[in-house]
A and B are shown apart, each in its own frame.
Chain A
């Protein structure tokens, strides 16, 4: 089978297998998870879990400190605790969890840090000339350092698709190594998510290869998309990435996380993803430490579904908040 030879900084080399993927088979397997019927208390479990795995995201040119503060408040308390407390009490349930993290541009990191102080919620910053990645490496490294120094606990980088699609895999690898290094800055340690931008890669074979390169280069998480193009996250593409993670775990014992991002708007979709993770990697990965949803609209749909499970009625966003 074809292998890509990558040189590490210490001079050793690693042979990455170019694992072939059958697209039709991948679609069929992914489709299977949409048939799982998750009801009653298992549904409530899934909804809580999904909420605790959300990275609440805003990445707009028009973002302002006010917007970020607003979003951070929602991140902490997706629904005002006093409003929902009576329903939870009736069913003897835990409080609604906060989301896992917020995801913002580097310039907004300081605002988020202040707004989320003491909450334990992660502060993820995109970096490396997100979303295109079309900038000199020095700029991308500085972009990362800036975010980490200002207090980002997670960095979501983009791979160099130009290099990848023209076959310069060593370059793709080296860049990830550099960014990983930059994640330790000014005494702060951020974990690294590597965005593959699967919608640009053209085939599942390539998604698999990019996943394997990212993991070898030190990614803590691999992530599907920037959310700025379509297609973004899909069940089949996520399945391929989960399979890369599974093989890596089998080989090395190291667990890498997964983050599908973009296009996941409904609770139903989110639950399908959770079934897929459970049946592909196992219960160990069903934790925010190893699985995230890159989403914004999803949070409110999860809340609506939670209300439905609690009360039997269909709710609207205005009960909690639109944003």
Chain B
């Protein structure tokens, strides 16, 4: 991908949004340039997503969530593992974008891709196990069989840290979907060029359409839409902006959204626990 080659004969990839398993442009028609790091040369244009794009993404995520949750845990883990395989296959592309647009050294870019792959593998391995650690059979007094299981919360919104970090984004997405949630993620435009290979990984991993939706956009502009959308059951805000977080917490009152604050240990059970609900069932024991 050049743009600067004076011959200009290469065909450049357009970076669009990823909604419902497809790659639509933003309905607002707006875009913003992503530059070659520390230069004024444009690497590519990425979409500036609008409220309507968010609305469409939520609709897609809603439609996809029940089917995703009802897949066997084994199935979800196979799909997450395939994401790791696909990321590995696209290593060069990821590294090139990280180096060219975010200024990482080649070594750090490789490490970043390694960590993203680690994240997919980690949560692939957790998808059919966390239930055994988080769930329980409860010894209630009385002749009842009582068990608690961890279930998906439903539709999760993810506002990524504006300081784009590939490994973090991969970990957050993997943790959210491994337990059967669907997701709409907002990537800051700084890392917008990575939306393309990421979305392609998701699109080629047997993931049902609409389970993961990616928007590139202006966090300042869109965070309120995430915060007030009633169909979003849980909102993960990874931005370090305390004021934004406080505002989101307050907006959550409208539909009792669960708010997840910035997570430290991204490869952990504790992280996964942020995205599950507990259901307890009673049943009598008797002739």
A and B touch in the complex (CB under 8 A): no
